[in-house]
Amino acid sequence: MLRFGTDGVRGRAYEELLPDDVARLAQAAAEVMAPSGPVVIGRDTRASSPDFADALIAGFSAVGVPTLDMGVAPTPAVAWAAARDHTPGAMVSASHNPWPDNGIKLFGPGGRKLGDEVQAALESVLADSNRGWAPNPAGPHLADDASELVRDYQTAVAATADFDGRDLRAVVDAAHGSATAALPRPLHAHGVAVTVINADPDGRNINHRCGSTYPGAVAQAVCEQNADLGLTFDGDADRVLAVDHTGELVDGDQIIAICAVDRHHQGRLPGNTVVVTVMTNLGFHRAMAQRGINVVTTPVGDRHVWSALQHGDWALGGEQSGHVIFPALASTGDGILTALQLLDVVARRGLPLRDLAAEAMAKMPQVLHNVAVGPAPIDENRLSAAVTAAEQTLGTQGRILVRPSGTEPVIRIMVEAETSEDAESVAADIAAAINS
């Protein structure tokens, strides 16, 4: 049975996730969300994505719900269209996962990701064996072509920033994914000289040795072309990381810190508060405290960040992975929009990205390990003992977080310490306890 993870439903295409599953999910969504108009649908560039988009269209059509097909589009473009027209949206993507995986992200009317209660209602409907596939007596239905919405989104996202970027040269890595449908026009609108790399999707090369999971690709191109900075997106373009002119990574924590400090100085940070997740570097917390900026921490997942932002009526939040949310500008994390906000600071301050990142925060050494897990249970007692011992070793000079992934069959280990060697040693001990 389909279950929601950190970001929608996800699994190996045609094995763990079947077109019939997706069609049933569409019917469940129609029942739970009761859309009053057409559902807007987008997809990334995976080989399986057209099949799953067709399954969504078939599922909605079978229960009389019309659909608008954007084709290949960034996830935030689907959210933008859903918000503009106050209608649900559905995106076919497994984000940063490799090409054999796929998934579905759903947006409620208004373009926001579904809350826990709505997801639970959908799971309940899907688990009800009395609800079968609704027949479609009229035969197959075609969605209305809505590819023009992608260009409308490009115009809208470009309008979220106002800066003169004619002195900036940027390399942009599209990850052979959804960003290929929207770049480089929003950056060109501000005069930025752009070189786009990894923009030739073939169905199997999405995220492969490129994009935000492999920032070395854009770093190399920036250095070779003597560019000012690089921007690298994930497969569905809802997150972005950057590199400076030396090829050094500027991650989501640093991007949020740069924007938070800039808005704080301008009096544009309501409540002097920023929202981040438990994965955020301890150096971020220290830097914000030094400036009198409050930090609210949530579980991993940009929908948790969004919920906290809405609850506090705050203006900026996000994740180390590059999901950054500006609630006044978008209803979800948007990699292209975030890139524009970052470029706005770079252009206005007239400083290299490297200097802005160093000014905003000093990162503590952080080690991230992903430990693959199978069906066999983990020795919880041994793992707990290893974590307790590690916490005693680090004391107040570090931090440990161990959690199951919401998108992959792995346990994620994050360790921060005063030195990289200490962090690596602690992470290795915890990984050994899991592998045992």
Q: At what angle do helices 19-33 and 116-127 cross, to 10 degrees?
A: 120
Residue whose C-alpha is closest to residue 293's, from 326, 325, 270: 270
Q: Tell me 195's DSSP state.
A: E
Helical segments of 159-196, H only: 185-188
What 3-state DSSP class applies to 275? Answer: strand
Residue whose C-alpha is closest to residue 233's, from 201, 260, 261, 189: 201
- Sequence length of the chain is 436
Backbone angles phi, psi at 138, to 5 degrees: -85, 0
Backbone angles phi, psi at 216, to 5 degrees: -60, -30
Backbone angles phi, psi at 108, to 5 degrees: -80, 170
What 3-state DSSP class applies to 278? Answer: coil
For 410, what's the count of Cα atoms within 13 Å in the CB-facing half-sphere?
Answer: 12
Q: What is the three-state SS of 375-429?
A: CCCCCHHHHHHHHHHHHHHHHHHCEEEEEECCCCCEEEEEEECCCHHHHHHHHHH
Which region, left, alpha or beta, applies to residue 308 given φ > 0 means left and ψ of -120 to 50 means alpha? alpha
What is the sign, positive or negative, of the torsion defined by CA atoms of 333, 27, 82, 78?
A: positive
Catalytic residue among 49, 61, 93, 95: 95
Q: Outline where DSSP puts E strands in 206-332.
A: 229-233, 240-243, 249-250, 273-277, 294-298, 317-318, 324-325
CB 309 within 8 A of CB 297: no
Q: Sort strands 229-233 and 169-173 into parallel, antiparallel or unpaired.
A: parallel
Retrieve residue 398's tokens. Answer: 């570090």
CA gap 269, 281 in Å, rounded: 20
For 328, what's the count of Cα atoms within 13 Å in the CB-facing half-sphere?
Answer: 11
Retrieve residue 314's tokens. Answer: 């705050």
CA gap 195, 227 in Å, rounded: 9
Clarify whether 129 is annotated catalytic.
no
Residues designated as active site = 95
